[in-house]
């Protein structure tokens, strides 16, 4: 493990010194070299993730697909979403827009006496070990992810944005990053805020995000695979998560009158225990078609291209907020 970390650091430093440090000086960002160095690490992580997707998850999809892919244009759009996120374009936008505001907010909180609570300090000598502290942070952020995901399905205005993700009728490993950019922005702000409050080390934060993202790529794969009776309850599998995307199941619940309302099942991102604990788990053994009910029953358009999906998401958001009648 240490050898891999050293190799990663060596490659990051080489990429930074030969490519991004000169660019930072050329663009007048010499005062942000530390941030540029961190961004180089994120880019390297994204390249590694894409390599794993192509070398491992892709062949698995071709080995045991759930369904034949017929809409290749939709998959290409999902690939575009993935490249935007994993190659750092979305994070670059955060770097110039949100990061300064978050730094200012955390500075004000510290001045007011609200410092970071370091989770690894819970049990000195035990929880501060690198492996156990990583596990603690992974569980914490997965817990946060569960409730963020439930909120995306419970609040009309947030579902208006999150519906972009669920409108994919042909799920593949590339579908994880198919999100409205405002949806991603909201979750990124909350994640950064939680990271600051719990005092997670930058290297551990990168590792938590990288593992979470790669697992999500695997969960969205067009792969006929489950982890068995017990494995399904330990880690989110492609079958478990596909049920979350199932038409009329993953994003709907029944109210007291038997009417379908926003809600659903299988919100867990990594650990199914959260769904089991809070009563939202569903362990059916079949693989359902994916999408949103009104795509099928009403032919509602959620957009075919990146631009259309983003525009229609904004229109749905304005409608949910009562600011327009357009859908």
Q: Which residues pair with 290 in a beta bridge?
A: 246
Euclidean distance between the first and the last CA atom of the chain, given in angstroms as a whole number? 51
Domain coverage including residue 281: 69-320
Dist. CA 27–CA 32, nearest whole Å: 11
So what's the pLDDT on residue 127?
61
Q: Residue written as tokens 């390297």?
A: 44
Question: For the chain, how many structural domains are there in total?
Answer: 1
Domain contains 44: no
Segment 283-309 mean pLDDT? 93
The overall average pLDDT reported for the chain is 89
Which region among 123-137, 163-177, 233-247 has the lowest average model confidence (pLDDT)? Answer: 123-137
User: Given a cut of 70, is residue 326 above it in pLDDT?
Assistant: no
Answer for the pair 195, 189: CB distance below 8 angstroms, yes or no: no
User: Given a cut of 60, is residue 296 above it in pLDDT?
Assistant: yes
So what's the pLDDT on residue 266?
96
Domain contains 104: yes
Domain contains 112: yes
Residue of higher predicted confidence among 1 and 10: 10
User: Given a cut of 70, is residue 1 above it in pLDDT?
Assistant: no
Segment 53-66 mean pLDDT? 97
Q: What is the pLDDT of residues 250-289, one digit of tens each?
A: 787 766 666 667 889 999 999 999 999 999 999 988 899 9
So what's the pLDDT on residue 295?
93
Q: Where are the alpha helices (DSSP H) in 167-305?
A: 181-198, 202-219, 228-231, 238-244, 273-277, 293-297
Q: How confident is the model at residue 34 (pLDDT cuts 50, 70, 90)?
A: confident
Answer for the pair 178, 77: CB distance below 8 angstroms, yes or no: yes
Give the predicted TM-score (pTM) of the model: 0.92
H or E element, residue 161: helix 156-166
Q: Tokens for 125?
A: 């000598």
Segment 117-140 mean pLDDT? 77
User: Given a cut of 80, is residue 129 above it in pLDDT?
Assistant: no
Dist. CA 48–CA 231, nearest whole Å: 26
Q: How confident is the model at residue 292 (pLDDT cuts 50, 70, 90)?
A: very high
So what's the pLDDT on residue 208?
95
Dist. CA 163–CA 291, nearest whole Å: 9
Which region among 138-152, 208-222, 242-256 has the lowest average model confidence (pLDDT)? Answer: 242-256
Q: What is the pLDDT of residues 140-179, one digit of tens each?
A: 999 999 999 999 999 999 999 999 999 999 999 999 999 9
Domain contains 54: no
Dist. CA 189–CA 196, nearest whole Å: 11
So what's the pLDDT on residue 159?
96
Domain contains 166: yes
Domain contains 16: no
Domain contains 49: no
So what's the pLDDT on residue 3?
80
So what's the pLDDT on residue 231?
96
Domain contains 109: yes
So what's the pLDDT on residue 131?
83
């Amino acid at each position: 493990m240490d050898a891999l970390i050293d190799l990663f650091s060596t490659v990051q430093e080489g990429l930074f010194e030969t490519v991004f440090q000169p660019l930072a000086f050329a663009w007048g960002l010499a005062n942000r070299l530390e941030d540029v160095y961190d961004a180089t690490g994120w880019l390297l992580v994204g390249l590694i993730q894409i390599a794993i997707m192509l070398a491992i998850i892709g062949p698995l999809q071709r080995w045991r697909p759930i369904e034949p892919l017929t809409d290749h244009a939709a998959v290409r759009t999902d690939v575009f979403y993935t490249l935007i996120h994993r190659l750092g374009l979305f994070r670059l936008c955060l770097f110039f827009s949100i990061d300064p505001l978050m730094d200012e907010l955390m500075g004000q909180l510290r001045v007011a006496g609200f410092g970071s609570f370091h989770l690894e300090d819970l049990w000195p000598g035990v929880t501060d070990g690198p492996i156990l502290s990583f596990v603690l942070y992974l569980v914490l952020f997965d817990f946060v992810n569960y409730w963020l995901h439930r909120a995306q399905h419970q609040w009309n205005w947030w579902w208006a944005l999150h519906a972009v993700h669920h409108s994919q009728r042909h799920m593949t490993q590339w579908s994880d990053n198919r999100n409205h950019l405002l949806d991603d922005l909201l979750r990124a702000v909350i994640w950064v805020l939680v990271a600051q409050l719990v005092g997670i080390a930058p290297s551990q934060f990168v590792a938590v995000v990288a593992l979470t993202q790669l697992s999500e790529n695997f969960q969205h794969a067009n792969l006929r695979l489950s982890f068995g009776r017990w494995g399904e309850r330990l880690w989110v599998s492609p079958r478990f998560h596909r049920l979350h995307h199932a038409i009329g199941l993953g994003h709907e619940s029944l109210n007291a009158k038997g009417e379908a309302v926003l809600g659903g099942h299988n919100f867990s991102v990594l650990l199914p225990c959260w769904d089991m604990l809070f009563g939202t788990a569903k362990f059916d053994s079949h693989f359902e078609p994916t999408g949103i009910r009104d795509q099928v029953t009403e032919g509602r358009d959620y957009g075919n291209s990146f631009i259309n999906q983003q525009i229609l998401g904004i229109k749905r958001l304005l409608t949910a907020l009562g600011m327009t009648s357009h859908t």
